[in-house]
Amino acid sequence: MSKIAARRAAMQLIYENMFGGTGGDDTLLGMVEFQSDEEEVAYVYDLVTGAVRHAQETDDIIIKYSPKRELDRIPALSRAVLRLALYELKYCPETPESVIINEAVEMTKRFSVPDDSRFINGLLGAYNRENPRA
């Protein structure tokens, strides 16, 4: 499984969690062409648990950087993408910011409302400019 596929799987599990799902191995197996090892599965679950654990924090960031658009007016899939990307920007310094933002935009184009890709790019870019990594 590539890092891109892992992020897509993580985003889908985050989305499922937003609606009360617990996401588990069965869900993960149903999502991706599963040819991964324990390390790759652990990477997906690390992303999911981190994003879920920090959901309130990332939602507060979304609210701050989206003053004209209420949180509940953002499509759920776009919020799942933002939660994952903001978690990675803040807590995963080994992944380049440009990769995180680009993949978030591409996931939005593929899975959510296509016009939201510009919104997500702008929000993540603004956050990244004001909160550069050390």
Query: Which CATH number fits the domain that encloses residue 18?
Result: 1.10.940.10
Structural domain harbouring 107: 3-130
Cβ–Cβ < 8 Å for 9, 31: yes
Per the structure, the count of domains in the chain is 1
83-112 CB burial, b ≥16 within 10 A, e <16: bbbbbbbbeeeeeebeebbebbbebbeebb
pLDDT of residue 95: 94
Residue 30 has pLDDT above 60, yes or no: no
pLDDT of residue 16: 87
pLDDT per position as a tens digit, 73-111:
999 999 999 999 999 999 999 999 999 999 999 999 998
The pTM for the full model equals 0.89
